[in-house]
Each structure stands twice: as structure tokens, then as C-alpha cells.
A and B are shown apart, each in its own frame.
Chain A
């Protein structure tokens, strides 16, 4: 059942919040042993919170939700899937969690992540890998891999992840669910462990674009006391989501289908999805934007030192407790020349100026979310078409441009290759989430890729 359908069923009194939460806890207890998507399950607390809900709260009344374990839930540990924070108990709810609770949602647990949300495989040395419900020998992507797995396996109808360089979109694509990275600054980051102040944002993962719209409307909006939010208010996403794709101008980013390494079967699935968008009324044309490849370096130059600075107290005292990959990146950020982040931010502004005409000419950009389907756990380098390249390097061209530009971008299920999901990326203008999700919804009304489930899911 989708999140929107579950909320409606609770609203109609067909099941109580306690029953909805208990059902989720039962699924987690019986099936998450295979996926390791949860780090902490709040069974007793969640049932008590469901029982304590007033008769009427908000649009998520009684809906069980999973929260990535870098986002604080008061009284529950926030481990970031790291030894460094293994016993760290959050004192207060993150703003996004407080907003979910005000809307009636019940947090059933904290979801596995790549250590400190900095990596794309969710294979924590301290807490073990999250496993892809489509094939448990494969990764879920990351860093919000537990969020992707828990939704794909129908353990919860929706989850929050975070995205710095693809961490909502990548697991959404590899797990066959829908996820959106919102405009940077549209969702408050207070109470979220940072990777990079410039790029971090919280974003929802769920079965459908409509589900994501409901979650995003709930968590988005300015927070005057939180400098991580922009004061600008974007249009709501759920209202008007059924308006279709007729006349929407979509630019297909040509170099991401032809100019960088990509599995041709993944490219074919994305091309078929683009033809479907055209069939339902979108005006589609190819667009050359090779300058976007500069974003690959720009993102690293800014993100690495920002992350190192955020971690500096722990680097001084807990360095051996980091996993090898994250420790290496943090030290690289610490030891980059001091000019690197300034050059990166100057180049980011230049990139934004160059990209502006694209977003004036097109309502959306379309591209593959990932060049490959989910690799096996520990498989690195990976085969990408005819090339073998590092997994991390394979995905950067598809994700860094949109993070650098701070624009909203969603991954929508659009096919299967070898029985594994493929994601279509739809990218909008700044604060254009409503258009992104409206077109994603129209695509999902015309196709059934988002309804395909792993064999074990219900």
C-alpha cells in the first residue's frame, strides 16, 4: 500500500494508528534480518506514540515512517552508522522530524546509511551493509541505502534520507523506489549531522511521486531560526500533482546518455521512459550541456574541506574509529590547498550562470539517475558498458551537476535490467519541486514500474 493510500485508510478508520505501526514493526521484525535496513527500531516508543496521538493530527496521522540515522529523533541514538557515534543519544528532534510528528507520523526506527552519509554503497564497517531487497547480494546504493531498502521491501511506506551528492537519488534508483532531492535550503537541516553545508539537504523516499509530494510538503518551508533554510517558499507539491505532463518542455541531457560510461541497457530503459514522457504530452528535445561535467570537480573541491571541518573534533580524537573510505576522504579534505573551496565556490557560481539558459528554455531536464544497476556488495571497480571504473567515479557525472546547482531532482523507477531497477532522473528549476513531481506522477500514471516489487515485498 502506498503512503497516501495508508494515510487515507487510517483517515477512514479502516485501521488505527496503532495497527498501522504494529504492522510495520511486524514486517521489520520478520523480514529486516535479510536487509539490515534498520539500525535502531523504536518498537515500544512507536506504539506508545501511536496510542498517544490525538484523534486528529494531520495528513500523516498514524503513518509509520523510517528516518535515516543521521537525523535526530529525541531520546533515540543517532549513530551515523559509525563507531564514532555508536552511543550518541539525540537530545531533541531534528526540525524535519518535529514537522513529521506534527502531521501525525510515527517514527518506527532509524535507518542504515553509509558512514556519516558520505558514500554511495551503505556498507558500514560498524553496522554492516544494507542489502538490496531485489537481490540481497547487492548494495542498496547510498548513502540513504537503508531508506531505499526499507521502502522497497515495504517495511515502511515512506522514509527520510539526506542528499549531498546523490544520497537520496542513488538508493531510490537502485532500490526501485521514488526519491527527491529538494532545492537546497527548502528543507531545514537543523538536527541533521552535516556532510557539506553547501550541498546537504533532507529528502523523502517512498513508493510514488505522490507519496513524496505529501512528505515533502510536510517537511519543507522556511525556519527563521535555522540558517540552513532559504526564506523563499516554493509552491506546494501535492496540490495540482494530477495536472499531467502536457506541454511540459523537457531537455534530455545528451552527454549523460552518450558521452560518459553507461550500461547501454540502462540507457535504453531511460530512452524508453523519455519516449513515454513524449507520448503523454511533454515536448522533448536533446540538449548539449557538456559544461555540466565541470560540476564533478567543483563538488569535490567544496564538499571535501567542508566535511573535514565538520568532523575536525572527531578527527583529532577518534580517527581510527572511522571506516577506511570515509577516513581517507576526510583527510583529503583536511589537506587540500586552502584555495580549493574558494575556487570551487567561484566555479560553482560560474557553472550556475552557464546553466541558467537551460532552465529558462526547459521546465525539466531528463537523464539517467545512474549508469548501472546495483553492483554486488564489495564489487569495485564495476563494469559500466565496456569500461571497468571505480563505482564512486561512475556515478558522479549523473549526480554532481544537480547538487552543485542546488536544484530539485527526483529519481523515478523506469525499467528493469537483469531484474534490477533503473531510475530516470527528472530535474527542475530552483523551487520547482511541484513540476518535477507532477511529471513524475504523470509518468507513474502511465506506467507500472513503480508498482514492481521485489519478490519478498508485500
Chain B
């Protein structure tokens, strides 16, 4: 299934999200984040769709019989 396009948040939405966490980035900082999100959000959506829903998250270390 082809991934749907992922809406990228606006600069003001990103600024509000950063402020909510106590961080005050500049406009230039946020424009860099927007560019990054423009490339990573479609990949995130593809990965969501490629990973079966019943797979739980890995922990810090992969379970492996050899390691036990």
C-alpha cells in the first residue's frame, strides 16, 4: 500500500511545540526542522505501514537466545 502524504506542521506549530517544552528556537532553526520533517515524515509513514501492528517495541537490547 502506498503511503499517504504526511502533513508537515507549520513553523508556528513547531514553535509552540518547542515552547511547550521550554525551548526557544530561532526562525532559522525551525526552518531547518521543517526541511528535515519534510523528508522524514513520509519515511515514518512508510515504516508504520510496513511494520505489522502486533510487533511490540524492541527494548534497549535485542532478545537473543545466544545472549542468555
Contact = CB atoms under 8 A, between A and B. Distances in A.
Nearest to B52: A350
B21 interface: yes
B49 to A, nearest CB: 10
Contact of A429 (B29, B33, B55, B66): B66
A334 interface: yes
A135 B10 CA distance: 44
Contact of B62 (A332, A339, A347, A406): A406
B55 to A, nearest CB: 5
A350 B48 CA distance: 11
A346 B56 contact: yes
B60 to A, nearest CB: 6
Nearest to B15: A335
A74 interface: no
Size class of A's contact patch? 35 or more
Given A335-B33, A346-B51, A349-B56, A430 B23 contact: no
A447 B56 CA distance: 45
Contacts of A64: none
Interface string B34-53: 00110011011011101110
A336 B50 CA distance: 19
A343 B66 CA distance: 26
Interface residues of B, number: 37
A333 to B, nearest CB: 10
A345 B61 CA distance: 11
Nearest to B54: A346
B36 to A, nearest CB: 4
Given A340-B44, A342-B57, A316 B51 contact: no
B10 to A, nearest CB: 12
A60 B52 CA distance: 49
Contacts of A316: 21-23
Given A294-B50, A316-B22, A319-B25, A331 B58 contact: no
Given A232-B67, A406-B62, A331 B47 contact: no
Contacts of B47: 294, 297-298, 301, 343-344, 347
B58 A301 contact: no
Nearest to B30: A331
Contacts of B68: 232
B50 A347 contact: yes
A232 B68 CA distance: 6
A331 to B, nearest CB: 5
Contacts of B59: 345
A230 interface: yes
5 contacts: A197-B60, A232-B68, A334-B23, A347-B51, A349-B57
Given A184-B61, A230-B61, A334-B18, 10 more contacts: A185-B60, A294-B50, A297-B43, A298-B47, A301-B47, A312-B22, A332-B37, A339-B44, A342-B57, A350-B52
- Nearest 7 interchain pairs by C-beta: A345-B57, A349-B58, A232-B67, A316-B22, A348-B58, A328-B32, A297-B43
